[in-house]
A and B are shown apart, each in its own frame.
Chain A
Amino acid sequence: MTLACRNGRSDSLVLEGRVVAPAQGIDDTLRITVTDGVISAIESGGTGTAGAVVAPAFVDPHVHLRSPGREDEETLRSGTEAAAAGGYCAILAMPNTDPIVDSASVLGALVERAREEAAIPTGFMASISKGQQGEELTEMVELARAGAVAFTDDGKPVTSAGLMRRALQYGALTKFPLALHCEEPSLSRGGHAHEGAVSAELGLGPYPSAAESVMVERDCALAELEHRPIHVMHLSARESVEAVERAQEAGVPATAEVTPHHLVLTDEAVRSLDPNVKMNPPLRSAEDRSALVDALRRGAISCIATDHAPHARHEKDVPFEDAPFGVTGLETAFSALYTHLVLSGQLTLETLLERMSSGPARAFGLDEPRIEVGARANLVVLDLDAEWTVTEEGFRSLSVNSWLLGETLRGRVVQTIADGRVVYAA
């Protein structure tokens, strides 16, 4: 597994406060000593400030860094600094760049650049098909040797069932999962909003739940046939959750992720016609949203992924129907979910922290951020009492297409330690 970031000195520091590490069964007031980037002591009886929580840092399995090709929207530097500010100690970047990450040379150049620029360890996915055209497989073995951490055609579905089966078969030569953007294009074509009362009233092209769920069903069936792991990305519909759970019960090694915006918003938000609530898959009904929250609670969905998708201002400052899909999320994920799900009693803090850290790390075979003596320090310090307002000026990301602009949130990341280094301090 190759995660790359710029070199630097490991830090030594002491953190005190309420420590919550669900995977290690810790919820206690402790003092954590970090020496040269390694947790060297964990003692009881620290003091710490009220509201302060120390937890394993977050892992985001779904980030668009827009490099190479759209460095006006995000760079490795800006995107990873945004991630550090969001409490992340590792992220995985999508390959739908320009050029597409479909060859060892493009991938190698990215890994090299990450060693110069990335503030936190960053992994790169390679595409499943050449040019993401859905026709020919990429050289998956060579890409894996060059450092790919997984394979995905994210942004586009693998439309051909035959090619998907072949990708699962041939992909067995690598140990990495396929991460799948499930969308049946003949059902989603022209779609701008969830098919339902809101799209009917607004006249927006309907994007039915079935456009996602029939593809989830297909890919689960193929994964079962080939006994290969799949990771289903950005689930949005109740029917898709049910399909993933049926597959998991049948023994298919399928994991799934959900985004903060699908966990918080419904298609009612689209009535504003604000381009910052336009994403693919679209925001769905209240029933879908609660199915996603339930599945996250149960663990059927084990990962929270931002699908951080930066877009240039001028590309989003257009009529809703003309705007591209996607919103940013790295710098707001924890606060948005703490405010909307934890404080409202829909999710415990422990579950939120687990699904933002251990869950995604496990799904992609990454080292889990742990709070134990001898582990590299991957820690986030949170102030649960802090209140802050999301503004354009506050972002480290080069793009400002956030669905939370103007909103006041509770809970804030105050310090992030990634791979033994302090990478963010408020």
Chain B
Amino acid sequence: MSELRPPAAPRRHLLAIGDLDSVDVERILETARALAASLDREVKKLPTLRGRIVVNLFYESSTRTLASFELAAKRLSADTMSLRSAGSSVDKGESLKDTALTLAAYDPDVIVIRHPSIGAPQLVARNTDAHIVNAGDGKHQHPTQALLDLYTIHAALGRLEGVHVAVVGDVLHSRVARSLVQALRIVGARSTLVGPPTLIPRGIEALGCEVSTDIATIGDADVIYVLRMQAERMAAGEAFVPSLREYTAEFGVTPERVRPGQVVMHPGPMNRGVEIDPRVADSDVALVADQVRAGLVVRMAVLYDLVVERPASASGTTVDVSGEGEFFPALAGSSHGEVS
């Protein structure tokens, strides 16, 4: 047989958390930790992605995700553009394919897309040469949220392997839950989904999680991960629970249901008094602000990883996390990024 050669590197995307293996996840989290240390010490801006173009294409309203992707790209010195569906040619009925082709004409390095429809990031990936980052597609995936959640759990508990996370609430409509459960499995952590039977999708156990309809089971977990209860799920004739009042009584995360030593997370935006009691949200065990901070460095790490990093198996490239000097991982061997 012919000699084995490494295959030509395909364009890398982050469409779903399942695109990553444990080595990839560990590498991205390491990069994020190195970036966090660097940002603490140095000026807030790194030249790593100078000359690169990062486009944020958002078809759904978003505060924290869009803000953190924008800031992440800017702190890496990329040129960024953010396009929202409102006020753009999408308003005029342009198809996603045509918008993608239009953006492709500017030769962006990365397109970050959020879209209400499952499969939208795949469509953009088929029609452009950019690296695609899925910032949430319908009820499918939100992989950078899962990565920032892993980062936050690791920072709080010092480990990921063997950690037990209870994910509470509307799993059925949650891309956050789907991504997180898969991410936890990749790093050797456990998860249990807890909620009313109407909000737990049939067949979800195939992802390697446990399922419970008893809120008391959250007592067994190290982390209580509270999902947003979306009001639109309560539309007349389409209600998945009889009332929010009953939902809160049965599944709301209250101080009484949190045992000492547990931490509580929420992807935001929170419905205080519905899925989470304000006393829990404002307590020391809530890591919500840590999650937002993690979002910035994790998204920087993802952009860096896609544009600059090659899979460890192909190149052996590692990030300098020695703490010595500045964080310029992108410069070695790169034709971009001459520092003036």
Bound CA span A322–B120, Å: 9
Known A-B contacts A319-B96, A320-B117, A321-B118; the reply to A203 vs B203 at CB < 8 A is no
* Interface of B (DSSP majority class): mixed
**B123 CB-CB contact with A under 8 Å:** yes
**B140 CB-CB contact with A under 8 Å:** yes
Bound CA span A196–B173, Å: 15
Verify B95–A314 contact, CB threshold 8 A. yes
Bound CA span A206–B139, Å: 12
**B248 CB-CB contact with A under 8 Å:** no
Verify B178–A203 contact, CB threshold 8 A. yes
16 examples of A-B residue contacts, CB within 8 angstroms: A199-B203, A200-B201, A200-B203, A201-B206, A203-B141, A203-B178, A204-B118, A208-B202, A273-B122, A314-B97, A317-B123, A318-B96, A318-B97, A319-B123, A321-B118, A323-B119
User: Which residues of B147-204 are within 8 A (CB) of A?
Assistant: 173, 175, 178, 201-204
Q: Who on chain B is nearest to A196 by CB?
A: B203
Known A-B contacts A202-B118, A204-B118; the reply to A319 vs B137 at CB < 8 A is yes
Known A-B contacts A195-B203, A203-B138, A203-B140; the reply to A318 vs B95 at CB < 8 A is yes
Q: From residue B53, how far is it (CB to closest CB) to chain A in Å?
A: 23
Verify A273–B204 contact, CB threshold 8 A. no
Bound CA span A275–B315, Å: 36
B119 contacts across to A, CB distance below 8 A: 273, 275, 319-323
Q: From residue A124, how far is it (CB to closest CB) to chain B in Å?
A: 33
Verify A319–B120 contact, CB threshold 8 A. yes
Q: From residue A235, how far is it (CB to closest CB) to chain B in Å?
A: 21
Q: From residue B235, how far is it (CB to closest CB) to chain A in Å?
A: 12
Q: From residue A201, how far is it (CB to closest CB) to chain B in Å?
A: 6
Q: From residue A422, how far is it (CB to closest CB) to chain B in Å?
A: 41
Verify A201–B118 contact, CB threshold 8 A. no
**B207 CB-CB contact with A under 8 Å:** yes
Known A-B contacts A200-B201, A206-B202; the reply to A319 vs B207 at CB < 8 A is no
Bound CA span A198–B140, Å: 11
User: Which residues of A177-231 are within 8 A (CB) of B?
Assistant: 192, 195-206, 208
Q: Who on chain A is nearest to B18 by CB?
A: A201
**B115 CB-CB contact with A under 8 Å:** yes
B97 contacts across to A, CB distance below 8 A: 314, 317-318
Q: Who on chain A is nearest to B122 by CB?
A: A273
User: Which residues of A305-333 are within 8 A (CB) of B?
Assistant: 314, 317-323
Q: From residue B102, how far is it (CB to closest CB) to chain A in Å?
A: 15
Q: From residue B29, how far is it (CB to closest CB) to chain A in Å?
A: 23
Total cross-chain contacts (CB, 8 A): 77
Q: Which of A192, A196, A314, A321 contacts B202 (CB 8 A)?
A: A196
Q: Who on chain A is nearest to B171 by CB?
A: A200
Known A-B contacts A314-B95, A319-B123, A319-B137; the reply to A200 vs B202 at CB < 8 A is yes
Q: Who on chain A is nearest to B140 by CB?
A: A203
Q: From residue B7, how far is it (CB to closest CB) to chain A in Å?
A: 20
Q: From residue B277, how far is it (CB to closest CB) to chain A in Å?
A: 28
A202 contacts across to B, CB distance below 8 A: 118, 140
Bound CA span A275–B119, Å: 9
A198 contacts across to B, CB distance below 8 A: 203
Q: Who on chain A is nearest to B182 by CB?
A: A201
Known A-B contacts A314-B95, A318-B96, A318-B97; the reply to A200 vs B120 at CB < 8 A is no
Bound CA span A167–B204, Å: 41
Verify A201–B207 contact, CB threshold 8 A. yes
Q: Who on chain A is nearest to B178 by CB?
A: A203
Q: From residue A321, how far is it (CB to closest CB) to chain B in Å?
A: 4
Bound CA span A206–B198, Å: 12
A208 contacts across to B, CB distance below 8 A: 202
A275 contacts across to B, CB distance below 8 A: 119
B123 contacts across to A, CB distance below 8 A: 317-319
Q: From residue B319, how far is it (CB to closest CB) to chain A in Å?
A: 31
Bound CA span A116–B96, Å: 40
Q: From residue A323, how far is it (CB to closest CB) to chain B in Å?
A: 8
Q: Who on chain A is nearest to B97 by CB?
A: A317
- Which of B119, B140, B178 has most A Cβ within 10 Å? B119
Bound CA span A204–B137, Å: 11
A203 contacts across to B, CB distance below 8 A: 118, 138-141, 173, 175, 178, 201
Question: 7 tightest A-B contacts by CB?
Answer: A320-B119, A203-B139, A197-B206, A319-B119, A200-B201, A319-B117, A200-B203
Q: From residue A391, how far is it (CB to closest CB) to chain B in Å?
A: 18
Q: Which of A196, A200, A314, A321 contacts B117 (CB 8 A)?
A: A321
Flag A87-131 by CB within 8 Å of B: 1 or 0 each: 000000000000000000000000000000000000000000000
Q: Who on chain B is nearest to A285 by CB?
A: B203
Known: A192-B118, A201-B207, A321-B120. 12 other contacts (CB 8 A): A197-B205, A198-B203, A200-B201, A201-B178, A203-B118, A203-B175, A203-B178, A208-B202, A273-B118, A318-B123, A319-B96, A320-B117
Bound CA span A204–B119, Å: 10
Known A-B contacts A319-B123, A319-B137, A321-B138; the reply to A195 vs B202 at CB < 8 A is yes
Q: Who on chain B is nearest to A202 by CB?
A: B140
Bound CA span A163–B120, Å: 40
Verify B120–A197 contact, CB threshold 8 A. no
Verify B118–A319 contact, CB threshold 8 A. yes
Known A-B contacts A196-B203, A201-B178; the reply to A320 vs B96 at CB < 8 A is no
